[in-house]
């Protein structure tokens, strides 16, 4: 079951509450005026390092200001607020600024409510104990900041003065009254005062006097106009309500009475039988709401909080690492077992195949060629495959044909096997037509030559004559079976676009196919 410890600090006493299952339980109270009080609290903290705690302040040294500041944003606003807060509250970490409104005229400045602790003499010893014990405090809160939430269920005006009281734990026959002024749900002012209650007849007058003082202060600050009436919400114990009802009210004020026990019931307050007080009700509201934003941030407690946060993250990382290691270990074990099973299956399959192979060897009877004949076939195949495919004879024929034609530049040479065929128009076919025997078909090699005339000046007739002369030289070679002109310098394709005179065409290209007899290889 999740539980939380709430430390309620007043001017003279530290009260410890435990919240669990929507029930607030009083644990102990420690007197701060005696050394034994903090020592006893430190001893109680010995085994509480891992528990969630929050600190609730109900001290008289908390002060409040209203400041009008220029409307700026970003870092400029942070610097402006920090300088103004440092002026009123020198203690680092015990201050807060709340934006109230923005003026509608003039410079349209921002109005801020500033609150903070002016004297930390009561708080510092407690902070030192918590820091020494490495206690993580999730937040430091101010009890007056819960005033608007406390009376939210009671219908009241935008500006209301809330009066609460508790018995003074350090003095008998005295009550501590707190006057808290709220504007539009935001805390504007709060102060504590002690009133003697030995003579019940003096209580109404003392309370009325304190309310008049508060009204005068607010009137001087121009928060409450002189011609208006201030609403006063009395949230008091029943015996105090009985004492004040029917008594004259403070001037310029209208009273609204509310029983603190009934108000606590509206908030779902539940305790284990402990006495209801402002501190217990504030502790209940704080714990019930859960993760509220802290009002104050003492540096020492912030360091402990960050250290414990890092420690928790490291613990989580260790747990995750261990879990991953266990997962990988289990995965490796499973894979190892699978490998063992596969090995057994492969061993069994190998034995079966060995048995089948043995049976096939025993029943095999070869009836093909003899081994010597097979060896002869292999040697013949090797001789065929080792025939050189290098076109050295091709280069020899082409080089001899091109000798003396320095003005012709070859750009591409390709050759291919034309197969076993007889070409019409070849030297052999011409001899057959003249009365000779028909030639035998033989292997042919076709060499495609592509090139251009160098230093061409536009004389296409000269270029054609040079190509015709080259063709005649190849045709005279006995190794050449046939020669075909595929392209001459003046050939123009159907897709060719002529944009100027033909004499301006600087490239004279040609392409011829030379068919060689396969015997050249």
Q: What is the pLDDT of residues 473-494, one digit of tens each?
A: 999 988 889 999 998 887 655 5
CA distance 269 to 263: 9
Host H or E run for residue 197? none
User: pLDDT at position 433, please?
Assistant: 46
pLDDT digits (tens, 9 = 90+) for 126-149: 888 888 888 888 889 999 988 888
**Residues 379-397 as b or e (16 or more Cβ within 10 Å = b):** eeeeeeeeeeeebebbeeb
Q: What length is written for the chain?
A: 521
Phi, psi of 403 (to 5 degrees): -65, 130
User: pLDDT at position 161, please?
Assistant: 94
The mean pLDDT value for 295-310 works out to 80
User: pLDDT at position 3, please?
Assistant: 83
50 vs 103, which has greater pLDDT?
103
CA distance 474 to 397: 9
CA distance 159 to 282: 21
Place of tokens 């106009």: 225
pLDDT digits (tens, 9 = 90+) for 191-219: 999 888 878 888 999 999 999 999 999 99
Place of tokens 């209940």: 284
pLDDT at 156 over 80: yes
Structure tokens at 126: 């407690």
Residue 139, SS3? strand
Host H or E run for residue 255? strand 253-259
Domains and CATH numbers, the chain: 392-520 (3.30.70)
The answer to whether the CB of 173 falls within 8 A of the CB of 198 is yes
């Amino acid at each position: 079951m999740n539980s939380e410890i709430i430390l309620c600090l007043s001017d003279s006493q530290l009260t410890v509450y435990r919240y669990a299952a929507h029930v607030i339980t009083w644990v102990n109270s420690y007197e701060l005026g005696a050394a034994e009080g903090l020592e006893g609290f430190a001893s109680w903290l010995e085994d509480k390092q891992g528990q969630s705690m929050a600190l609730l302040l109900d001290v008289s040294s908390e002060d409040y200001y209203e400041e009008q500041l220029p409307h700026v944003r970003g870092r400029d606003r942070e610097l402006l607020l920090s300088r103004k807060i440092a002026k009123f509250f020198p203690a680092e970490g015990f201050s807060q600024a709340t934006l109230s409104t923005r003026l509608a005229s003039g410079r349209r400045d921002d109005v801020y409510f500033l609150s903070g602790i002016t004297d930390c003499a009561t708080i510092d010893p407690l902070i030192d104990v918590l820091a020494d014990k490495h206690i993580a405090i999730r937040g430091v809160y101010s009890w007056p900041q819960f005033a608007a939430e406390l009376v939210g269920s009671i219908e009241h005006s935008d500006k209301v003065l809330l009066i609460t009281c508790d018995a003074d734990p350090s003095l008998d026959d005295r009550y501590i009254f707190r006057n808290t002024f709220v504007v539009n749900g935001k805390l504007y002012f709060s102060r504590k005062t002690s009133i003697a209650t030995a003579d019940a007849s003096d209580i109404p007058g003392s309370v009325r006097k304190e309310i008049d003082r508060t009204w005068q202060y607010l009137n001087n600050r121009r928060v409450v106009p002189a011609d208006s009436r201030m609403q006063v919400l009395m949230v008091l114990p029943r015996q105090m309500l009985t004492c004040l009802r029917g008594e004259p009210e403070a001037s310029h004020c209208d009273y609204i009475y509310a029983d603190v026990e009934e108000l606590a019931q509206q908030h779902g307050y539940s305790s284990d039988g402990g006495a209801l007080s402002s501190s217990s009700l504030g502790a209940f509201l704080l714990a019930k709401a859960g993760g509220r934003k802290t009002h104050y941030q003492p540096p020492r407690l912030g360091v402990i909080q960050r250290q414990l946060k890092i420690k928790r993250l490291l613990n989580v990382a260790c747990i995750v690492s261990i879990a991953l290691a266990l997962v990988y270990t289990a995965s490796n074990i499973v894979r190892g077992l699978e490998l063992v099973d596969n090995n057994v299956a492969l061993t069994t399959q190998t034995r079966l195949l060995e048995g089948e192979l043995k049976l096939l060897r025993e029943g095999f009877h070869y009836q093909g060629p003899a081994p010597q004949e097979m060896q002869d076939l292999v040697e013949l195949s090797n001789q065929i495959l080792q025939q050189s495919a290098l076109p050295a004879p091709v280069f020899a024929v082409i080089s001899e044909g091109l000798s003396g034609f320095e003005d012709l530049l070859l750009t591409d040479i390709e050759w291919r096997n034309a197969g076993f065929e007889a070409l019409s128009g070849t030297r052999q076919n011409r001899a057959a037509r003249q009365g000779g025997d028909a030639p035998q078909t033989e292997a042919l090699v076709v060499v495609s030559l592509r090139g251009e005339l160098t230093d061409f000046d536009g004389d296409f007739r000269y270029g054609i004559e040079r190509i015709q002369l080259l063709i005649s030289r190849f045709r005279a070679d006995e190794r050449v079976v046939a020669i075909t002109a595929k392209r001459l310098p003046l050939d123009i394709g159907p897709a060719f676009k002529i944009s100027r005179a033909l004499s301006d065409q600087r490239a004279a290209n040609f392409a011829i196919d030379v068919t060689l007899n396969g015997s050249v290889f």
